[in-house]
Amino acid sequence: MTDAYIGTATGTRATTDEIKSDAPQRALGLHRELDRTWANDPGWRGQISAVNHTTLGLRFMGTALVFFAIGGILAMLIRTQLATPEGAFLDTEIYNQIFTMHGSIMMFLFAIPMLEGLAIYMLPKILGTRDLAFPRLTALGYWCYLFGGLILLFALLGGVAPREGWFMYTPLSGATYSPGINADVWLLGVTFVEISALAAAVEITVTILRQRAPGMKLTEMPLFAWYMLGTSVMMLVGFPPLILASVLLEIERAFGWPFFEVARGGDPLLWQHLFWLFGHPEVYIIFLPAAGALSTIIPVMCRTTILGYGAIVAAIVALVFLSFGLWVHHMFTVGIPHMALAFFSAASVLVAVPTAVQVFAWIGTMWKGRPDMHLPMYHIMGFFLTFVMGGLTGVMLAIVPFNWQAHDTHFVVAHLHYVLIGGFVFPMMAAAAYWMPQITGRARIKGLGEAAFWTILIGFHGTFFLMHLTGLLGMPRRIDVYPDNPEWIWLNLTSSIFGFVMTIGFALFALDLVLQAWLGPRSPRDPWRAPGLDWAMRLPPPSYNFASLPGPGRLDGGAQAAQGLARGEGLLPGAPRGRREVLVTGVGSARPELIAILPGNTALPLGLACAIGAFVLMMLSGLYWLTLPALALVAALIWVWARGMAQGHDAAPVEVAPGLSLPVHIHRHDTLGRTGTVCLLLADGTLFAALLFGVGFLSVVAPGWPPPELTGDPKLGAGLIAGLVGGLGLGAIAVRLGLRAQGNGGAVLPAAAVAFIANLAALACLIWLAVAVLDDPTRHARDALRGVLAGYAGLHALIAAGMAGYALDQARRGEIAGTRAGCMPAWRLWQDFAAVTALIAGAILIAQGSGA
Amino acid sequence: MTLLLAGCDGPLSTLAPAGPAAGDIALLWWGMLIGSAAITLLVGVLLALSFGPPRVRPVRYWTHGWGLGFSLAVLTTVLVAGLWIGERILPRDDGAVEVRAHAYQWGWRFAQPNAEGETVQTDGVLYIPAGRPVDVIVTAEDVIHAFWVPQLAGKVDAIPGRRNLLRIEADRPGTHDGLCAEFCGLGHATMRFELVAYGVDAPPDALADAPAAEEYADD
Amino acid sequence: MSFLARSLAGPMIWAVTFSVVYALHGAGCALGWDGVSAGPVSLHRAALVGSWILGLIAGLALLLRLPASGGLHAGLPRAGAWTGLVATLFTLFPVLVTSSCDTARALAVNFFIPV
């Protein structure tokens, strides 16, 4: 990030080496002062207004465990049905709903929220800060997750759950073959949940880049943070294609715009490409945090340090990239030419290399140290055995001819459970055993955890090992009966019996967690004698994590660091100003740059999530006109949200340590909010790129082209598009003029007014274009895509106008004045982005006109 | 060993191949299985050895030696073998018999040449001459299905708006089971068909009696 | 920032080359480039191999520009450059050896089932 900022209220600067310690204070006094500021509201109000990362991280993980239990019960229903060849336990309709919901719940409502919860809970503690960058966003994410999940659950209870398989292939999921709301429940519910994934990804990225303890350089930060950085960037890039695909399919189902329907120029393969463009990176999004936990726990269990830190970081970078080049291996049988399959086959085997680097680095770590068989180590051994086997069957499936046989059989079912349970569930159980004392402050009750481990391990391999053979003997996925295939009976029966053994194991595991939290004896401060700032605090952790923040010399953490930090010897001790203050540092340098004041407890996230939920429910009910008031409510609440942190007077620099005082964020442009906007635009840009891919794909590959002639006046169209782009461009120039005026001590108001009007003019041009030039979007996929491109530009112009209006209001109130930046940094980025994407979209609209 | 192979038998078993493509792929599978078992064992041994006294190896021994070198060597071998076999079993322009499989919810309609060379239509049973390569043109009526005769070759999806091509060949006359492998709704589990490979000199009566093939809507 | 940018440059070269070659492959098969001759090979293969070689040259050039030593600060960009180069080589070598549009023959051939 740039160091450009305006004005004088910048405080003094210091390099990290010069930071001095504060004088020790009474730890209890500091604790009371901080807890008054940081604690949740008391009673039931605290439940709905909490924004604290510790509370919300635990809530995410707890809710994810509930969904894991529900998904597991569904799995048992599936195994009961398949235990006999002509099971009459479930009828086919219900069976289809159950396996669709099992996959969807485990992926979207268990695995992703679980890793988000772990990151939300752990990262501020590991990085040495007091909360995540955007606490209200954490809470919004949680409510969106909960409400989206509840919509799916209620649909299941009402018998209208999605039933098309968790990857919802079109045309089966289209309006013709899936009438009713089942598919809409999936598309809307899962997209609702994905808001939480994107929210978490933005905050995790910003927190890792900007809130590391001073002196904790990127190249020296704990590996868990590297893994989570890779995960969160992958989420920013991986989720938008699925969100786009879901939105397009919902538009097709609700309004008849064809994107996937062959007869009108769509292509079902576009869905598959967009789905797996998300779906394969998703596997690594799930694996990386688990690997991060392993890289943290293994050295502690072996009383040594991690081997090959640099190689592991390089492997993470390689995995992040390569995992986006594998998606077609889910589509080896759709009729793609052999050469293209070969690219993806090669990429799919190559991705095993960085994985192997990590596995061997972990084994090397164990050789270097002395492994102790504590409970986490049991689960890590379970991980090695299971994940290595899952990885090897993954390499097999990456080989094209073998894939042609094994695809869509129970071999794949076995493989994916080996990878997901081996690569995620076992490491998460290790993480639970490792961090439960940190979370609860209690030690576990001996014996039960080991029994749970052995039951799960035996149950798992009993269920899934022979299932490879079931698949090779030809049993496809997603069938409910097999009366003509007696050779599959003993295999399925075995899988079903051991499936129940595994379930008993998970029940024991859950019981162990509950007993530890409820009855466990008090844990010593750092029971594993682990390094790391996550152990440098009282257990269970206080609401503010650190009474004073760790800096250079205190980054090794552990119990020794805890006392000094609790006595206020670190940076930014206490909460003397009664505000939630955190330190913001530079991306690469980890130099302290400014103080961010975080928002306090508020029920606004719950309100906003309810408004979004109202929109989703109106869509589901088919009451499309009623979505408009819901959207207006969403916009109004976002305005209130932004107003909540606005400030119309200067803030004095804050003393962080003796001789070091830093400016408060309202006087700076390189704020957390600006970095967050960059992350959001990365996701938004990926969504736009996915849309461009869709345009190119359908134009070149889809059957049912060329489309009918365009009927709109091309000259008028080009003029209106020029008006759209010109208006947004003028807005971008006006932002710059406003910033320059502010730098010279002038007013921002005139520039904001110009930008507001320019954005409205751009929007007017676009509406005119939609009414007068664009063809009926239900006619052909080309016309539907033109409608979506225009809609994308229009939405961004509308938001740009909203931001200009907000800036106008802030300038009027004196919140953008002097050195107070207000919304200027974020607005500038958005305005530029809107102008550039509108230019590209407009160029395509014009080219489609002249090409035809 | 015999017992093991008997366990691999079955009308839909990929491990009981009856054609060149399925045979090649089964061979590939056995090779990969042996390699995978060896690698699993190796990792197990390395893990077991870690429980002794601490042993120091250079970092690169693990990250570069095992992590990069070993894995790249194994993976390159498997990849090249896979591409080689993949190319071998592709359809090619060699005048193979062409038949058509048209999938719908929930059944199969086939078109294939009879003894006189006329294209005739059958429902639920596909007739091909044994010992000769046959290219199946796979199409779909409504949603995505997949054509799969495990004993003869891999599968290919039947996708609305597209014609996919799959080469199959049966070594000997006989009957093989086929099924829809891609989930296609309520009737997915029962969307089976039969493939009859007949001796070239003994075309089945059913083929002679079958009606001429009709044109499908998407032609 | 530039440390992160330098570290991601190598994988980025792979990502761009991979996307370009895959897009050219799809477009070429759809537009019938494999039927157009460009010297000893088809226009299709020439375009694919050409893009691949450009990607390899870019990866190699990046690798040669980076300093050889200096801890993780220099090591991560270097590892990234190696990742990009090896990935480009490994994932796209099939442009040399595999058949380019064969399955698409089904789309091109005018198969007709008489009534």
Please state, in angstroms and rounded to a whole number, the distance separating the CA atoms of residues A398 and A329.
6
CA dihedral sign of residues A316, A319, A321, A324: negative
Q: Which residues of B touch C97 (CB under 8 A)?
A: 83, 87
Proportion of chain C above pLDDT 90, given as a percent: 54
B91 contacts in chain C (CB < 8 Å): 102-103, 105-106
Task: Flag whether residue C9 sits within 8 Å of chain A, measured between CB atoms.
Answer: no
- Asked whether A229 and A320 are in contact (CB, 8 A), the reply is no
Gap between the Cα atoms of A573 and A569, Å rounded: 7
Q: Rounded to a whole number, what is the distance in Å from the CA of A104 to chain B's nearest CA?
A: 16
> Which positions in chain A touch C91 (Cβ < 8 Å)?
325, 343, 346-347, 350
pLDDT in the model for residue A9: 42
Nearest to C25 among A317, A340, A587 (CB): A340
The parts of chain A modelled with pLDDT lower than 70 are: 1-18, 851-852
Residue ranges of A 391-410 with Cβ closer than 8 A to chain B: 392-393, 395-396, 398-409
- A665-703 pLDDT, tens digit each: 999 999 999 999 999 999 999 999 999 999 999 998 888
Do residue C115 and residue B214 have CB atoms under 8 angstroms apart?
A: yes
Contacts (Cβ under 8 Å, ≥6 apart) of C47: C24, C28, C33
Q: How many CB pairs (< 8 A) connect B and C?
A: 47
B97-104 vs B134-140, strand pairing mode = parallel
Contact B87 C94 (CB under 8 A): no
pLDDT reported for residue A15: 53
pLDDT at A8: 36
Chain A positions in Cβ-Cβ contact with residue C23 (cut-off 8 Å):
696
Alpha-carbon gap: B69 to the closest alpha carbon of chain C (Å): 13
Q: C79 and A317 in contact by Cβ < 8 A?
A: yes
Residue B32 has its nearest CB partner, among A360, A381, A396, at: A396
Q: Total structural domains in chain A? A: 1
Distance separating alpha carbons of residues A424 and A286, to the nearest angstrom: 7
Dist. CA A505–CA A349, nearest whole Å: 33
Task: For residue A721, tell me if it sits in a domain.
Answer: yes
Assign residue A782 the CATH number of its domain: 1.20.120
C113 in contact with chain B, both atoms CB, cutoff 8 A: yes
> Are C94 and A339 a contacting pair at CB < 8 A?
yes
How far apart CA A784 and CA A264 sit, in angstroms, is 10
What pLDDT is attached to residue C102? 61
CA C11 to chain centre: 12
Cβ distance of B32 and A395 shorter than 8 Å: yes
Best to test chain A binding among B79, B177, B218 (most A CBs inside 10 Å) = B79
The pLDDT value recorded for residue A624 is 95
Examine residue A826 and state whether it is found in any structural domain, yes or no. Answer: yes
Task: Please indicate, yes or no, if residue A547 is contained in any of the structural domains.
Answer: no
Residues of chain A with C-beta less than 8 angstroms from the C-beta of C30: 700-701
Q: Which of residues 64-83 of B touch A (CB under 8 A)?
A: 64, 66-68, 70-72, 75, 78-79, 81-83
Is C71 in CB contact (< 8 Å) with chain B? no
CA-wise closest residue to A371 among A452, A453, A297: A297
Instruction: Tell me whether residues C18 and A314 touch, CB distance under 8 A.
Output: no
- If you ran DSSP here, which 8-state letter would residue B173 be given? S
What is the crossing angle of helices A223-255 and A781-813, to 10°?
120
* CB A790, CB A846: distance < 8 Å: no
Q: Does domain B97-209 have CATH number 2.60.40.420?
A: yes
> Cβ contacts (< 8 Å) between B137 and chain C: which residues?
106, 111
Helix (H) or strand (E) holding A596: strand A592-598
- Annotate B15-28 with b (16+ C-beta within 10 A) or e (fewer): bbbbbbbbbbbbeb
What domain range is A781 assigned to?
706-851
pLDDT tens digit sequence for C24-50: 999 898 888 888 888 888 899 999 999
Which residues does chain B have within 8 Å of residue C103's beta carbon, measured at their own beta carbons? 90-91, 164-165
Structure confidence at residue A87 (pLDDT): 86
SS (H, E, C) A457-517: HHHHHHHHHHHHHHHHCCCECCCCCCCCCHHHHHHHHHHHHHHHHHHHHHHHHHHHHHHHH
Query: Which tokens go with B185?
Result: 């709704």
Answer for the pair A453, A379: CB distance below 8 angstroms, yes or no.
yes
B14 phi and psi, to 5 degrees?
Answer: -75, -15
Q: Do the beta carbons of residue A85 and residue A485 sit within 8 Å? A: yes
- Residue B94 near chain C (CB below 8 Å): no
Least confident span in A162-166, B40-44, B89-93 = B89-93
pLDDT value, residue A189: 97
Residue A817: φ, ψ to 5°: -170, 155
CA dist A258 to A266, A572, A625, B96, B140, Å? 6, 57, 21, 38, 19
Q: Answer whether A18's CB lies under 8 Å from A552's CB.
A: no
Q: Left (φ > 0), alpha (ψ -120 to 50) or beta: where does A780 sit? A: beta
User: How far apart, in whole angstroms, are the C-alpha atoms of residue A370 and residue A332?
Assistant: 45
Q: Does B88 touch chain C (CB under 8 A)?
A: no
In a domain, A499, yes or no: no
pLDDT in tens, C12-21: 999 999 999 9
Instruction: For chain B, give every domain's residue range.
Output: 2-88, 97-209
Chains with 3 or more CB pairs closer than 8 angstroms to B? A, C
**What burial letters (b/e) apply to A93-114, b meaning 16+ CB within 10 Å?**
ebbbbbbbbbbbbbbbbbbbbb
Tell me which residues of chain B, numbers 148 to 207, contact chain C at a CB-CB cutoff of 8 Å: 162-165
pLDDT at C108: 33
The two tokens of residue A758 are 């320019």
**CA dist., res. A376 & res. A427, Å (int):** 8
Angle, to 10 degrees, between the axis of helix A92-104 and the axis of helix A182-210? 10
Per-residue pLDDT tens digits for A102-126: 999 999 999 999 999 999 999 999 9
pLDDT in tens, B174-194: 999 999 999 999 999 999 999
What is the nearest CA distance from B27 to chain C, expressed in angstroms? 21
pLDDT of residue C110: 31
pLDDT score of A6: 32
For chain C, domain boundaries: 2-96
From chain B, the residues in CB contact with C102 under 8 A are: 90-92
Complete DSSP assignment for B32-92: HHHHHHHHHHHHHHHHHHTTSS-----HHIIIIIIIIIIHHHHHHHHHHHHHHHHHHTS--
8 A C-beta contact, residue A694 and residue A252: no
Give residue C66's pLDDT band: very low, low, confident or very high (50, 70, 90).
Answer: confident
Rounded-to-10 torsion of CA A487, A490, A494, A500: 100
Q: CA A672 → CA A362, A574, A578, A665, C77, distances in Å?
A: 35, 22, 20, 8, 26
A740 within some domain: yes
Helix/strand/coil (H/E/C) assignment for every residue in A393-405: HHHHHHCHHHHHH
Give the nearest partner residue to C113 out of B93, B100, B164, using CB atoms. Answer: B100
Q: Where are the alpha helices (DSSP H) in A211-256?
A: 223-255
Given a contact cutoff of 8 angstroms between Cβ atoms, the answer to whether B64 and A315 are in contact is: no
